[in-house]
Amino acid sequence: MIHRHFVYALSKNANLLARCRLYSKHTMTLQRIGAIDQGTTSTRFMVFDASTLRPLATHQVCHKQIFPQPGWVEQDPMEILGNAITCLKESCKDINQLECVGITNQRETVVVWDKETGAPLYNAITWNDVRTAKDVQSFVTEECNGDHNIFREACGLPVSTYFSAMKLRWLIKNVPEVVDAMARGVCMFGTVDSWLIWNLTGGTNGGVHATDVTNASRTMLMNIKTHAWDDELIKSTGVGKDIILPEIKSCAEIYGYIMPTKENGIPEWMSKVPISGCVGDQQSACIGQRCFEPGDIKNTYGTGCFMLMNTGTLPVTSKHGLLTTVCYQFGQNPPVYALEGSVAVAGSGIRWLCDNMNLVENNDQVESVARTVNNTAGVYFVPAFSGLFAPHWRPDARGVIVGLTQYVTRAHVVRALLESICHQSVDVIDAMVNDTHIAVHSVHVDGGMSINSLIMQIQADLLGRNVIRPAFLETTVLGAAISAAIGVNVYNGVDEIPKCNGSENVTFEPEIDGPTRGKKKRRWDMAVQRSLAWHVDGDEEFE
């Protein structure tokens, strides 16, 4: 142990004191923090050195996507749980000590299970499932006076297929096992974090049924101001009180302790390891990017784009098509809020170029093909394959390519798709600035597509702001590890989180002037207008 008088002598030097704290429990032994990252297509576990936040070990397993009908997307909760345990064990094969474990997860995905047996009552219905589209429309028309935003003041969200409540409503209406479990008082509801926490802390043998404030803020059932389940929202959405909802906690506190059993095969030494962090994936990326000041923005480029702006300790109700959500809450500190805007097509657009149109052979070829031309030759591509998300929210929009001439080649179309991803992100940032009146000077980026330097340069050009890409792109799992470490006082607040080496970041600066940027923005807006009102219910011949 480090002698107490030595620690006292260092108390005026916060950085040295923080480092001493990291070594205080295990002399000359690095403290290790772990995190489960349960995503849409895979699960992984990663172990970090707490003093540097460098990764020490990791393991990742993909899981199946289940498509029972068009628009339906499901997953097997038992497979998700099994994969999480596998990743945990494999990552720690050569490690026999963890200070804590955090969990980050795909948000809005719904799991219901039997409290007595622990068995799922139905497959997990994922965040991007749209089976409730007609139910949502009839619900809005018949019970919300045609107003999608009727609950926005209470929960920060519009009525949408996206959020958990409408999926839970469908389960209650359509799955007899759920109705029976409700009647017996054993129907447990949660997002994927709750499912994992309950099982990892004992399941039917005293498992902790909890979620964190960020995941709860995506259900449409939590009051965005009180951070508690809202009885009126529960009643109005048809969920009712017979569902067992998880306890809402902060993102950084001890939820419970991992419980090894013969069935799960988790090593016995993990019985003393607390689960002390929990945060939804996009908010976790904010933490991993250190977006701790109002106006800080991160944009994750994946299948779609998810952009969050830290708005401080007061929720901002958007008037420009954005979502109000909780960004994070550490322990007893007040919650910090965010505005969020989602772009439907980013990486999925690149897959469309490859798989549907054969314009490029694979993802790796996209950048090289796009770099063979210096511009799009006036082509604008609006990839509204299933409508436009924030800030437009136009489900009637469909994809258009405008500005075609005989001069245009596949390279121009490929580059136009890349530009469309960036134009959509500009639309979201403009809405954020209009809602908050906060000046934005730079944007932090992550996600698989951010490795494409051409996209990042285009993004900086169209934004007119610096785009900062970290050396370590896996910011989602990093954010969960940081939250867990704060939850057990490995870090006593954000000031003690190890700083990344700024020289390892890559900064993309704008290379076009304001008039050129403005012209591109005007032409993009014209293209968006041409995509609207194309889809009409009943016009299946156009599908």
Do 41 and 63 meet the contact criterion of CB atoms below 8 Å apart? yes
How far is the C-alpha of 215 from the C-alpha of 284, rounded, in Å? 11
pLDDT at 387: 81
Query: Going along 264-303, which residue ranges are E strands?
Result: 274-280, 297-301
DSSP-assigned beta bridge partners for residue 278: 103
DSSP-assigned beta bridge partners for residue 260: none
Please report where in the chains the tokens 């939250």 appear, as a residue: 483
How far is the C-alpha of 128 from the C-alpha of 123, rounded, in Å? 14
Q: Is 538 helix (H, G, I), strand (E, B) or coil?
A: coil
How far is the C-alpha of 347 from the C-alpha of 29, rounded, in Å? 41
Q: Which residues of 131-165 are buried (b: 16+ CB within 10 A; e: fewer)?
A: bbeebbbebbeeebeeebeebbebbbbbbbbbbbb
For residue 391, whether the previous peptide bond is cis, meaning omega lies within 30 degrees of 0, is: yes
Percent of the chain with pLDDT over 70: 92
232: exposed, middle or buried (Cβ count in 10 Å: 0-12, 13-18, 19+): exposed
pLDDT range class, residue 275, cuts 50, 70, 90: very high
DSSP-assigned beta bridge partners for residue 332: none
Q: Could you tell me how far CA 205 lies from the centroid of its own chain? A: 30
Name all domains of the chain by residue range, CATH numbers in brackets. 1-30 (no CATH), 31-283 (3.30.420.40), 345-466+508-535 (3.30.420.40)
pLDDT range class, residue 287, cuts 50, 70, 90: very high
DSSP-assigned beta bridge partners for residue 58: 46
pLDDT at 502: 55
Sign of CA dihedral 477, 163, 295, 518: positive
Q: What is the largest CA-CA distance in the chain?
A: 79
Cα-based torsion angle of the residue sequence 416, 417, 421, 424 in order, rounded to the nearest 10 degrees: 60
DSSP 8-class letter at 94? T
How far is the C-alpha of 55 from the C-alpha of 200, rounded, in Å? 23
How far is the C-alpha of 477 from the C-alpha of 33, rounded, in Å? 11
CB atoms within 10 A of CB 538: 5
How far is the C-alpha of 274 from the C-alpha of 391, rounded, in Å? 40
How far is the C-alpha of 354 from the C-alpha of 280, rounded, in Å? 30
Higher pLDDT, 364 or 42: 42
Do 383 and 528 meet the contact criterion of CB atoms below 8 Å apart? no
DSSP 8-class letter at 355? I
DSSP 8-class letter at 259? -
190-242, pLDDT tens digit by residue? Answer: 999 999 999 999 999 999 999 999 999 999 999 999 999 999 999 998 887 88
Ramachandran sector of residue 131 (left: φ over 0; alpha: ψ -120 to 50; beta: rest): alpha
Do 216 and 222 meet the contact criterion of CB atoms below 8 Å apart? yes
pLDDT range class, residue 38, cuts 50, 70, 90: very high
327-354, pLDDT tens digit by residue? Answer: 999 999 999 999 999 888 888 888 888 8
Say if residue 14's pLDDT is above 50.
no
Residue 293 has phi, psi (to 5 degrees) of -115, 145
Residue 84 has phi, psi (to 5 degrees) of -60, -45
pLDDT at 278: 97
Lowest model confidence (mean pLDDT) among 43-47, 159-163, 451-455, 458-462: 159-163
CB atoms within 10 A of CB 434: 14
Tokens matching residue 495: 């000031």
Helix (H) or strand (E) run with residue 466 in it: strand 466-469
267: exposed, middle or buried (Cβ count in 10 Å: 0-12, 13-18, 19+): middle
Tokens matching residue 301: 């480029």
* Max avg pLDDT among 1-10, 12-21, 69-78: 69-78
Please report where in the chains the tokens 């890409």 appear, as a residue: 469
Rg value, the chain, Cα: 24
Do 220 and 164 meet the contact criterion of CB atoms below 8 Å apart? yes
As a whole number, mean pLDDT of residues 126-144 equals 87
pLDDT at 27: 38
Cα-based torsion angle of the residue sequence 10, 11, 13, 14 in order, rounded to the nearest 10 degrees: 130
487-517, pLDDT tens digit by residue? Answer: 999 999 898 998 865 568 899 999 999 999 9
As a whole number, mean pLDDT of residues 397-422 equals 93
DSSP 8-class letter at 218? T
